[in-house]
Amino acid sequence: MIIFFCNRFILVLYFLQATRGSVKPFVNFNAKHDAEVLRKAMKGIGTDEDAILMLLAARSNAQRQEIKAAYKKAFGKDLVKDLRSELGGKLEDLIVALMYPSILYDAHELHKAIKGVGTEDEVLIEILASRTCDEIKDIAKAYKKGNIHHAVANLRSVCSLIVFQELFAAGEEKFGTDEDKFINILGNRSAEHLRRVFDAYKKIAGCDIEESIKDECTGNLEALLLAVVKCAKSVPAYFAESVRESMRRAGTDDETLIRIMVSRSERDMLDIRAIYKKKYGESLYSTIQEDTDGDYQKALLYLCGGND
């Protein structure tokens, strides 16, 4: 009886957390049927992009994995390869991103940011500052499984960065900054604990922790520590700001926009939308409408989940 109650309690907690996403498991889901719909949409002359994006954007990530398996079983073909061959441009990038299991998608984005000449530091900072410690461990395992050894090494080096009076003594109270102290505290405390530290810090130092970081740190370390602080305060608020920046520059940063919409659609998109509307005075839905177009826009709007 106790075990039954505990299991029910866990399911309730899961449901409550899941409801903050704009994408939820599709009711009366049938993987075989969905696989057949997708095959029909891609077979013959021309491709029914609407059918593809409407179906996949309305399924949870776990359901998409089942569709992939059903497609392989029914037709002997790789669904993702077929999607790549039939779609193109930003819509292809978005739909293929939806087909990754969430942890593998993070691993893929980190690898993409690390490989080649130079490193896309903002991608590393975004993912590693906003994911939980357990999620980062799972991402590292995904790297190992994929035998991407050089990426694992880089990932570990970045993770090592993220790792009341003490904070004040490390920054405002002295000439120069004990950056290791900032890193150690911000990287080894729970979000709830950090929020209390930030309140105490403001009383002691007379300024917000963000101001001290901006004054005392520079470059990627500054960006990383600020991201950790923002995520400790509110992950949805951090992403509301990030998604705004991705669409309000000279030209839309589609890679960032896709990554946020895909990775947050089942987690906290409803919270992101609410904060976005409150902070910027317009809905995320309407901003996407203004900054994107075509089938790519339709897919993003499905992931957004509605207009506030």
3-state DSSP helix/strand/coil % of the chain, to nearest 5: 75, 0, 25
Contact indicator for 247, 288 with CB cutoff of 8 Å: yes
The radius of gyration of the chain's CA atoms, rounded to the nearest angstrom, is 21
Q: Which of 173, 203, 233 is the last residue of a domain?
A: 233
Q: Which of 200, 233, 266 is the last residue of a domain?
A: 233
**Alpha helix ranges (H) inside 171-264:** 179-187, 191-205, 209-216, 219-233, 235-247, 254-264
Supply the pLDDT for residue 9.
39
- Residues 298, 254 share a domain: yes
pTM: 0.82
- Residues 27, 88 share a domain: yes
Q: Which of 233, 261, 286 is the last residue of a domain?
A: 233
Which range of residues forms the domain containing residue 221?
A: 165-233
Task: Give domain status of residue 5, yes or no.
Answer: no
Contacts of 108 by beta carbon, 8 Å cutoff, 6+ apart: 100
Mean pLDDT, rounded, of the chain: 82
Sign, CA torsion 85/91/94/95: negative
Task: Give domain status of residue 190, yes or no.
Answer: yes
Supply the pLDDT for residue 145.
62
- Residues 192, 143 share a domain: no
d(CA 125, CA 78): 32
- Residues 138, 107 share a domain: yes
**Block mean pLDDT (10 aa), the chain, length 308:** 41 53 96 98 91 97 98 97 96 98 92 77 88 81 60 47 45 51 61 80 85 83 85 94 90 94 97 97 96 96 94
- Residues 26, 91 share a domain: yes
Residue 303 — φ and ψ, nearest 5°? -70, -35
**CATH number where 55 lies:** 1.10.220.10
CA 182 to chain centre: 25
- Residues 292, 256 share a domain: yes
- Residues 90, 26 share a domain: yes
* Domain count of the fold of the chain: 4
- Residues 109, 65 share a domain: no
d(CA 41, CA 102): 25
- Residues 227, 196 share a domain: yes
Count the Cβ atoms, other than its own, within 10 Å of residue 204: 14
Chain segment 239-296, per-residue pLDDT in tens: 999 999 999 877 889 999 999 999 999 999 999 999 999 999 999 999 999 999 999 9
Task: Give domain status of residue 112, yes or no.
Answer: yes
Task: Give domain status of residue 39, yes or no.
Answer: yes
Task: Give domain status of residue 10, yes or no.
Answer: no
CA 8 to chain centre: 28
